[in-house]
Amino acid sequence: MWGMDIVGKLPRAPGNRVYMLVMTDNFSKWIEAEAMTEVKEAQDDTKGGNGTYAIQPGIRAEAVIPSEDLVPIHRYGCQTAEQNQIEMTRSLDTVDELRESAYIRMASYKQSVARTYNKNVNVRTLAVGGLVLQRVFENTKNHKADKFAYKWEGPYQVESIVKNGAYRLMTMQGQILHRPWNIRHLKQYFV
């Protein structure tokens, strides 16, 4: 199924073309556009409430882009109603396979993007009992300190693993911190 729209009046292009016929294949989202000099409206068309012309149900017309006159396409080979019905039935029979192959291509593409993205990821894990430094945030740092102030504080000891990448810390005196810390805000402390 194709969607069709006429865009215009546009600034004058070479050949006095001021309208554009745009057609979109609703299945593949393929877009074709052709510049046109004029648009003739059918006598039976009535203007709709939004200012566009609606085609009446009794009118049968095939939308043909002028460039398709020069290049033979599949639609011209199936011009009879019987042949068109056979081709539509054949298309409906293969739509599940087409959809499945599109899903397979999409999954393959997602996997290749994930591989490319993840090839530079370094997985870091911390062991229970290990020593870490905790990042000093803007709201917790000493505002009287200058730009040479410490960006890390600690050391802290990893008390337990809460989830993947989240750790509960305890001070060297044995006091457990009130919330778990994400591994992004921790750095392993080497003595």
Q: Give the mean pLDDT of 56-61.
A: 42
62 and 91 share a domain? no
Q: Same structural domain for residues 5 and 34?
A: yes
Residues 61 and 100 in one domain: no
For residues 56 and 44, is the Cβ–Cβ distance under 8 A?
A: yes
Q: What is the pLDDT of residues 16-31, one digit of tens each?
A: 888 888 888 877 777 7
- Residue 178 class from Cβ within 10 Å (0-12 exposed, 13-18 middle, 19+ buried)? exposed
Distance CA 127, CA 161 (A): 8
Are 46 and 34 in contact by the 8 Å Cβ rule? The answer is no
Residues 84 and 62 in one domain: no
Tokens standing for residue 110: 């997602």
Last residue of a domain, which of 53, 70, 87?
70
Amino acid code (one letter) for 141 = K
Does pLDDT of 108 surpass 90?
A: yes
Across the chain, mean pLDDT equals 76
Residues 46, 107, single domain; the answer is no
CATH code for position 176 = 2.30.30
Shared domain for 17 and 57, answered yes or no, is yes
pLDDT at position 72 is 58
Are residues 137 and 103 part of one domain? no
Q: Assess if residue 32 is contained within a domain.
A: yes
Count of structural domains, the chain: 3
Question: Is there a single domain that holds both residue 104 and residue 142?
Answer: no
- pTM score, whole prediction: 0.37
26 lies in a domain?
Answer: yes
Please check whether residue 153 is in contact with residue 133, taking contact to mean a CB–CB distance below 8 angstroms.
Answer: yes
- Asked whether residue 152 is domain-assigned, the answer is yes
Range of the domain at 40: 1-70
Which pLDDT does position 84 carry in this prediction? 72
Dump pLDDT digits (tens) for 124-152: 778 888 899 888 877 666 667 677 777 88
Residue 126 lies in a domain: no
Write out pLDDT tens, residues 60-72: 445 555 555 556 5
Closest to 66 in 3D by CA, of 18, 118, 21? 21
Q: What is the pLDDT of residue 111?
A: 94
